A and B are shown apart, each in its own frame.
Chain A
Amino acid sequence: AQSVTQLDSQVPVFEEAPVELRCNYSSSVSVYLFWYVQYPNQGLQLLLKYLSGSTLVKGINGFEAEFNKSQTSFHLRKPSVHISDTAEYFCAVSDTIGAGNMLTFGGGTRLMVKP
């Protein structure tokens, strides 16, 4: 069984400041890791994913995340946020067992960017 914990339910930050959204996971097997963004009343959009290789993953909209196997973490970062980054962010994990690659989501972090 796998699980995902997003440690912060809300993160307020001022525009142009850096931000880190934290994500920890637990799994007994190798995992694939993802960050999705959800704007109000919309579906989920993939920001970035870690499948293998370099532990630093760059995604869209200037976001990046670092996979840390020893700490079982996959924190999302952006050096300078914009008002338009205000949204809900979900960390998700998928293991390598079985077909369909099921996603398990964390509880979400609401990023609130203030002017």
Chain B
Amino acid sequence: DAMVIQNPRYQVTQFGKPVTLSCSQTLNHNVMYWYQQKSSQAPKLLFHYYDKDFNNEADTPDNFQSRRPNTSFCFLDIRSPGLGDAAMYLCATSRETLLNFYNEQFFGPGTRLTVL
């Protein structure tokens, strides 16, 4: 089945130790998104790739970076995790065209990040 896969599902890191979260998709969608969801809060968009074009939300901290080496994979890099970065990180994908019809975002199961 076509899907959005996130690895690992649970990640523990130490304060200040760089960490990378991974997302892959078999849907061949051209847009990939990263959301941060803190406990009991709504998902908050960090950034997205429209094809190869990177789009950063204005309030996303510089500590968060992303890479998209090809259509199928997208990575979230947290350079120096702080205690406040502990959250669920959700990856999503969609197929978008310049005609701007709405196309559903498909979400992965998320990676729960713990910072010690």
Contact = CB atoms under 8 A, between A and B. Distances in A.
A101 B30 CA distance: 13
A100 B55 contact: yes
Interface stretch (B13-21, B64-72, B76-84, B106-114): B106-114
A61 to B, nearest CB: 16
A54 to B, nearest CB: 16
Interface string A70-105: 000000000000000000001000101011111101
A3 B33 CA distance: 19
B43 A90 contact: yes
Interface residues of A, number: 23
Interface string B37-53: 00011111100101000
Contacts of B88: 41
Interface string A43-58: 1111001010000000
A63 interface: no
Q: Is the interface of A mostly helix, strand, loop or mixed?
A: loop
Nearest to B102: A32
Q: Which of B6, B41, B42, B43 has the most CB of A within 10 A?
A: B42
B41 A41 contact: no
Nearest to A91: B42
B104 interface: yes
Contact of B96 (A43, A46, A51, A99): A99
Contacts, number: 61
B103 A101 contact: yes
B102 to A, nearest CB: 5
Given A41-B112, A43-B90, A43-B110, A100 B50 contact: yes
16 contacts: A41-B88, A42-B110, A43-B6, A43-B110, A44-B43, A44-B90, A46-B105, A49-B104, A51-B102, A99-B50, A100-B48, A100-B94, A102-B48, A105-B42, A105-B44, A107-B42
Interface of A: 32, 36, 41-46, 49, 51, 90, 94, 96, 98-103, 105-108
Interface of B: 4, 6, 9, 31, 40-45, 48, 50, 55, 88, 90, 92, 94, 96, 98, 100, 102-105, 107-110, 112
